Amino acid sequence: MTSSYKAKGNIIVCGSRGMVEHETLQCVHCQRHWVKQPGSGNKRGFCRNCMGPLCGDEKCGPCIPFEKKLDLYEAGRLAVLR
């Protein structure tokens, strides 16, 4: 099974196995990045309003785009920016 999500970035990991490059996805609600691993079994989501991937965190369930969260935070109507 392949993922229909387009990668939003890349990460290069240098370790004992040498240098490994992975594609990453980004949550449209919190901006969290994760390594793209189709078939990993991790429960993620997709926002049909924003038309982008979700990280799977409960806080990202309701559709509040990150730009809207920034506006609320700057206006003092959001205590913590997550």
Give residue-wise pLDDT tens across range 47-80. 999 999 999 999 898 998 888 988 998 999 887 7
14 pLDDT above the threshold of 50: yes
pTM tops 0.85: no
Q: Is the residue at 4 inside a domain?
A: no
Burial 59-81 (b: 16+ CB within 10 A, else e): ebeeebebeebeeeeeeeeeeee
Amino acid 55: pLDDT: 92
Q: Is the residue at 24 inside a domain?
A: yes
How many folded domains does the chain comprise?
Answer: 1
Q: Is the residue at 26 inside a domain?
A: yes
pLDDT, average across residues 24-42: 89
Question: What is the span of the domain harbouring residue 41?
Answer: 9-74
Q: Is the residue at 80 inside a domain?
A: no
Q: What share of the chain is helix, strand, coil (3-state, %, to 5)?
A: 15, 30, 55
